[in-house]
Structure 1
Amino acid sequence: MRNFQYRERTTGPTRIDGLESSANSLEIQEAYAMSRRERTALITGSGQMIGRGIALRLAEAGFNIILNGSKNTAACESVAEELASFDVDTLIAMGNVGKKDEALGIAKAGLDEFGTIDVLVNNAAIRPHSGFLEISEEEWDQVQDVNLNSVIWLSKACLPGMMEKQWGRIVTFTGMNAQRGYNGAAAVSVSKHGNWGLTKSLSDEFGQYGITTNIISPGTFPGDNADLSNDERRQKLKETNPMRRLGLTTEIGGMIAYLCSEDGGFVNGQMLQINGGAVVQF
């Protein structure tokens, strides 16, 4: 099992006690902020791109953050440094979520440090391109472990604490692979269809405990400062998108922050398309 690496803020949250029923909107906002600071979010694959954007947005909203990556510790440390400007605590828990013992170790590190994991964002995934007849059993199993089984393992680890608190959020990432099949991506499509089925089942089973479970199907989200001038594929996606641009990771983070807010508490069992209108559902 890999060693877990910690980076903590020493400053604690500012607590607000004794709010009167006539409290003004600022006091109410501060009270919500306090409640969020008592909550913790685990974001898998959070050393870069979408995962980084989510970590920054949830930290801004006041959630303690557990960062995770499989190999690139330096990337997670860089994100942790960015989070240092927020009044939250940050834990780095390195490990491969596609290996059960490491996935459970990541969850245990977070639970030992914070008591509960209130928000689970399943962002880590692999998407190899392999024909159905050519893909090896080993590679097939690896895709299912990283993309689907990790969501099962981590959800099972986090749900008891969420149930005890009567509050929790599980958000998983998918894509068009959960809505249709692709030539050369059978393993990925199977795993992502599984994510969608799991989301619907968990939303029904655990909604009664104040726990929402949703899935996000994102469009193309390059790094916020990515140079696309020599990327013909992404340039074409940009030109054909109804918004005539690609997504910003902060926009994904904003949606996650909404789902994790009190205002998002009645959004449950949904697939949310964040793609600028590239895919329109009827």
Structure 2
Amino acid sequence: MSKPLIGKTAFVSGSGQNIGRGIAVHLAGLGANVVINGSRDEAACTETARLVAEAGAEALVVMGDMGQADDVARAADIAKTRFGTVDILVNNAARRPHKPFLEMTDEDWDGVVDVALTGAFRTARAFLPGMVDKGWGRIINFAGMKAIRGYFEGAPISAAKHGVWGLSKALSTEFAPKGITVNVISPGQIRKDEDNADDPKRVATIPVGFMGQSPDIAACVGYLASPEARFVTGQMIAVNGGEET
């Protein structure tokens, strides 16, 4: 495998397992050093770090809740102290609680929006100055097929992810002249790493006939993070096996 990201550093939030872990390991395989982040399971993040190191890259675990301003600031400071700048920001952290809208509290709403939307704003604000100074950067945010359609009993998820899409479009316009691209990936039905087989009921709705896996998302992130994607910005890319979005 070629290593087009040697000399780059990536920050991947929510990278203790599943999609986030797959992204971290894939970027490491492309040559990037990786800052691994999780909010609770430090053992899982440490395992991701082991896999990143096994792929030949330097790993740094920084625990913190991306919904908390102080945690974001601390994580960014630690990452920049270790690596100087973060060149690739992947905002994967999210919360997906389900509750009927009329039973929803302010805390339910804020818990989702603070991580998915406000967290993406805060991490971008923390790392963009370094990208601007270097004249190169990649920001990759996440939406989700169900969120874009309208999440049943998940109003804050849909609202936050539509907000992420708007934020991404705005940043892509503002920072394109600085050599920085900003894009969104909208995953479809992705099988968890611990599952041994696809769910037949879910497969029935997917034109390609199988559920996606973490490497499918990681490959898309790898492309968007690469120099080859220099002309791709302000886009939402659906990785969903052909389902309508």
Q: Same fold (TM over 0.5)?
A: yes
* Alpha-carbon spacing, 1:222–1:96, altered in 2? closer, same or farther (3 Å): same
| Amino-acid identity (%) | 44
Q: Is the 8 A contact 1:273 1:279 kept in 2?
A: no
What is the rounded CA distance, in whole Å, between the counterparts of 2:206 and 2:152 in structure 1? 23
Structure 2: unaligned runs, 5 residues or longer: none
Which position in structure 2 is the counterpart of 1:91? 60
1:177 and 1:193 in contact (8 A); partners too: no
The answer to whether the aligner puts 1:182 opposite 2:147 as a matched pair is no
Which has the larger displacement, 215-224 or 156-165?
Answer: 215-224
Aligned to 2:100: 131
**2:174 & 2:146 partners in 1: Cα distance?**
25
> In the alignment, is residue 38 of structure 1 matched against residue 3 of structure 2?
no
Question: Equivalent residue for 1:153?
Answer: 122
Aligned position for 1:240: 205
CA distance in 1, matches of 2:56, 2:31: 7
The alpha-carbon deviation at position 223 of structure 1 amounts to 2.8
Larger Rg computed on CA atoms: 1
Say whether the 8 Å CA contact 1:38–1:63 is kept in structure 2: yes
1:129-166 CA distance string (max 9 Å, x none): 12222111111111110111000000000000000000
Residue 181 of structure 1, CA deviation: 2.4
Alignment-derived partner of residue 85 in structure 2: 116
Name the CA distance, whole Å, in 1 between partners of 2:241 and 2:152. 25
Q: Distance between the aligned counterparts of 2:244 and 2:80, measured in 1?
A: 38
- Asked whether the 8 Å contact 1:178–1:196 carries over to 2, the reply is no
Whole-Å separation in 1 of the counterparts to 2:151 and 2:58: 41
Cα RMSD of the aligned pairs, angstroms, is 1.6
SS at match of 1:179: helix
In the TM superposition, what is the alpha-carbon distance from 1:184 to its structure 2 partner? Answer: 1.5
1:263 equivalent among 228, 233, 241: 228
Task: Give the distance between the partners of 2:163 and 2:117, measured in 1 at CA.
Answer: 7
